[in-house]
């Protein structure tokens, strides 16, 4: 057995014993190998930086653990691994403080040069849903890969919209890969893998989606991404934790403004006050991270010469409008306007929001 595989097996054994990835990282720095760390006396484990609690966990587990059998279980579950000692390990993640030595994944660990995290509240408003879907669509021409946490709300919308627009997606879980959470997103998780993306976790199989796991998971979401976009979040939320990790990791943070009357606007507004980039469209993200790509024109960028089309575009410049408001602004009868709007929707030059209003792309 080569040294890398041996280190991975013992890292897995340590994870399964309840030693978290950051503590395993300490052991990799102190001991020549994790096989030696696994057998080390308590005094040496303490010297490496472990607490009495973790020493006791290791002592208890190693007396009964079948390391080879536990390792083989991963294959039966269809779970693969990558480690800090291997080239496949995500490049950006290597740069963060205390990167997890071992990662579990399903699917394909793509090495996209353009990875963007999209996070937000689990209870988005219609505005938040529309913004997320719009930004995903606008990012499509630039070939960005979307990273999120597969949670309810903005995460789910971001993953789903990314897949609809043929963008690669990566989901970072706060539990074992055999325990997809929420279970309602199992079909979405399968679709992410089927379309060339991945599910990834630093938690071994069998790990429940416990509350304390998610802040740890959030540092991976930001760490694997070049920028983090926050779309609707309360002042104390996982999305803001992810954004703060991004700042600590030297990554860009983007915040979408919202209504001052909405509690889920407070998180992004706090970020904006502290220097996050105001984000009204995907262009704001591309402009900051990949300015050389701005020469690419998205479909529908050239407006029609049809006077009725131009009138509609003109009245939608300032804000989204309902069918009746557009009629009032343009003077076009509702029956004809409905037909024109349908054509423009199909062309992709205007968008119908979940509120029923229309907006210019």
Q: Select, from the ranges 271-280, 285-294, 316-325, the one with the highest average predicted confidence (pLDDT).
A: 271-280
- 115-295, CATH topology level: Rossmann fold (3.40.50)
Distance, in Å, from the CA atom of 132 to the CA atom of 120, rounded to the nearest integer, reads: 9
What's the mean pLDDT when you consider all of the chain?
Answer: 91
pLDDT at 192: 97
The confidence score (pLDDT) of residue 348 equals 65
- Tokens at 21, concatenated: 């990835």
**Is residue 225 classed as helix, strand or coil in its secondary structure?**
coil
pLDDT at 297: 46
For residue 321, what is the DSSP state? B
CA nearest 172: which of 16, 21, 305? 21
- Reported as a single tens digit per residue, the pLDDT across 54-73 is 999 999 888 888 999 999 99
Q: Which two tokens stand for residue 309?
A: 């089309």
Rounded (5°) CA angle 123-126-128: 65
Structure tokens at 54: 């973790």
CA dist 189 and 181 (Å) reads 10
CA distances 286 to 144, 200, 201, 320, 321, Å, are 10, 25, 28, 23, 27
More confident residue, 335 or 282: 282
Task: Provide CB contacts within 8 A for 83, sequence distance 6+.
Answer: 4, 7, 8, 11, 89, 101, 102, 103
Q: How large is the average pLDDT for residues 255-276?
A: 96
| Alpha carbons 45 and 48: distance in angstroms, whole number | 5
The total of other beta-carbon atoms located within 10 Å of residue 209's CB is: 18
When mean pLDDT is compared across 77-81, 128-132, 357-361, the lowest value belongs to 357-361
**Residue 1, pLDDT score:** 64
SS3 (DSSP) at 334? helix
Show the CA angle centred on residue 210, arms to residues 217 and 266, nearest 5°.
60
Q: Does domain 307-360 have CATH number 1.10.10.10?
A: yes
Percentages of the chain per state (helix, strand, coil), in multiples of 5: 50, 15, 40
Q: How far apart are CA 293 and CA 283, in angstroms?
A: 10
What is the structure's pLDDT at 302?
43
Q: Which residue has the higher pLDDT, 353 or 197?
A: 197
| pTM exceeds 0.85 for this model | no
Please state, for a pLDDT cut of 70, what percent of the chain lies above it: 96
Q: With contact defined as beta carbons under 8 Å apart, do 320 and 358 qualify? A: yes
Place of tokens 């690669």: 168
Beta bridge partners of residue 213, listed in sequence order: none
Is residue 353 scored above 80 in pLDDT?
Answer: no
Residue ranges of the domains in the chain?
1-73, 115-295, 307-360
């Amino acid at each position: 057995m080569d040294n890398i595989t041996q280190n991975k097996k013992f890292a897995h054994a340590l994870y399964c014993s309840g030693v978290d990835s950051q503590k395993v990282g300490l052991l990799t720095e102190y001991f020549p190998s994790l096989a030696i760390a696994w057998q080390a006396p308590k005094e040496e484990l303490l010297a490496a930086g472990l607490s009495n609690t973790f020493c006791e966990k290791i002592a208890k587990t190693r007396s009964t653990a079948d390391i080879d059998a536990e390792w083989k279980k991963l294959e039966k579950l269809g779970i693969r691994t990558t480690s800090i000692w291997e080239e496949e390990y995500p490049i950006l993640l290597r740069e963060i403080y205390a990167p997890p030595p071992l990662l579990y994944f399903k699917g394909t660990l793509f090495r996209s040069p353009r990875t963007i995290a999209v996070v937000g509240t689990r209870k988005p408003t219609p505005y938040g849903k529309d913004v997320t879907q719009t930004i995903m669509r606008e990012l499509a021409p630039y070939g960005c890969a979307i990273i999120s946490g597969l949670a309810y709300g903005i995460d789910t919308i971001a993953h789903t919209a990314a897949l609809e627009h043929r963008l690669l997606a990566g989901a970072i879980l706060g539990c074992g890969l055999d325990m997809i959470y929420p279970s309602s997103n199992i079909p979405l998780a399968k679709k992410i893998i089927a379309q060339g993306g991945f599910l990834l976790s630093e938690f071994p199989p069998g790990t429940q989606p416990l509350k304390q796991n998610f802040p740890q998971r959030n540092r991976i979401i930001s760490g694997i991404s070049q920028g983090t976009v926050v779309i609707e979040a309360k002042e104390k939320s996982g999305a803001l934790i992810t954004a703060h990790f991004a700042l600590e990791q030297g990554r860009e943070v983007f915040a979408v403004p919202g209504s001052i009357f909405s509690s889920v606007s407070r998180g992004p507004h706090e970020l904006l006050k502290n220097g996050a980039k105001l984000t009204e469209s995907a262009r704001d993200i591309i402009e900051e991270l990949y300015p050389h790509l701005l020469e690419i024109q998205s479909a529908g960028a050239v407006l029609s010469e049809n006077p009725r089309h131009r009138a509609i575009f003109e009245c939608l410049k300032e804000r989204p409008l309902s069918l009746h408001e557009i009629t009032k602004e343009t003077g076009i009868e509702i029956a004809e306007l409905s037909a024109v709007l349908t054509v423009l929707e199909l062309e992709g030059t205007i968008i119908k929001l979940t509120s029923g209003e229309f907006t210019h792309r």
